[in-house]
């Protein structure tokens, strides 16, 4: 464990040197929030709904940022290490796969939480987006969602041969996950059958848990169990299948 602080510091320094790693997960979600907030339709409450569209989209925007970090930024970083034979040299040290992946997960999770705070701060100040009614449940749901998505990203990082393949695989996984999280069709207006399927996907379950938490209630236990199950399975596979070369 004494290696972890050094690994985290080193990975953090490398993270801030990548412009794409800063723009897509940090600046782009804020830009998207502002664009949505300036569209009158998103500030209006649809018939049969109890809140404006923008309020329902804010959790999805935070999940989108989290997915950029987990599925594209982290696998690309590990892919570059694999291409440049950095991992080949690390294989001769006691670092081990789980420490390397854990350092990446810690950094990207911290950035995801910072991004979520920024989205709610800007949304509340500029567009009257209400803050979560149940703060502990919201933080817990977001942390579990982070663990789940980061575990998927860790599995991609463990097996991709390089950064280009990592970007491709991450994109292919990102789109269906974000669809079921409600990026294109809000969960509140999805057909019942599609909404049911969504709640058994990683991001659909995360969006469901966060919606309940933000509304003031506690997520259903089975939704949290779905997220925890995905986390354990993907994390175990990432460590088991990790390739140094």
What pLDDT is recorded for position 52? 87
User: 65-83 burial by CB neighbour count: b if 16+ within 10 A, else e?
Assistant: bbbbbbbbbbbbbbbbbbb
Do the beta carbons of residue 167 and residue 72 sit within 8 Å?
yes
What pLDDT is recorded for position 1? 53
Number of structural domains the chain divides into: 1
**Euclidean distance between CA atoms 84 and 170, whole angstroms:** 20
Quote the domain boundaries for residue 126.
3-241
Q: What is the pTM of this model?
A: 0.91
What pLDDT is recorded for position 14? 86
What pLDDT is recorded for position 192? 84
Q: Which residues of the chain have a pLDDT value below 70?
A: 1-2, 188
What pLDDT is recorded for position 226? 96
């Amino acid at each position: 464990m004494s290696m972890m602080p050094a690994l985290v510091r080193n990975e953090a320094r490398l993270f801030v040197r990548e412009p794409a790693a800063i723009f897509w997960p940090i600046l782009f979600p804020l830009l998207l929030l502002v664009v949505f907030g300036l569209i009158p339709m998103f500030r209006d409450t649809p018939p049969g709904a109890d809140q404006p569209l923008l309020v329902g989209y804010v959790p999805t925007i935070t999940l989108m940022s989290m997915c950029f970090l987990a599925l594209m930024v982290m696998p690309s970083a590990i892919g570059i290490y694999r291409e440049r034979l950095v991992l080949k040299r690390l294989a001769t040290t006691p670092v081990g796969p789980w420490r390397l992946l854990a350092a990446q997960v810690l950094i990207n999770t911290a950035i995801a939480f910072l991004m979520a705070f920024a989205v709610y701060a800007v949304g509340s100040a500029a567009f009257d987006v209400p803050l979560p009614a149940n703060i502990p449940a919201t933080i817990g749901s977001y942390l579990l969602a982070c663990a789940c998505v980061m575990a998927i990203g860790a599995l991609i990082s463990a097996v991709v041969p390089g950064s280009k393949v990592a970007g491709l695989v991450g994109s292919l996984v990102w789109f269906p996950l974000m669809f079921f999280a409600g990026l294109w069709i809000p969960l509140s207006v999805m057909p019942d059958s599609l909404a049911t399927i969504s709640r058994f996907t990683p991001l659909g379950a995360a969006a469901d848990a966060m919606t309940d938490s933000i509304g003031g209630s506690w997520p259903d236990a089975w939704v949290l169990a779905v997220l925890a199950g995905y986390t354990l399975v993907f994390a175990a596979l990432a460590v088991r299948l990790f390739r140094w070369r």
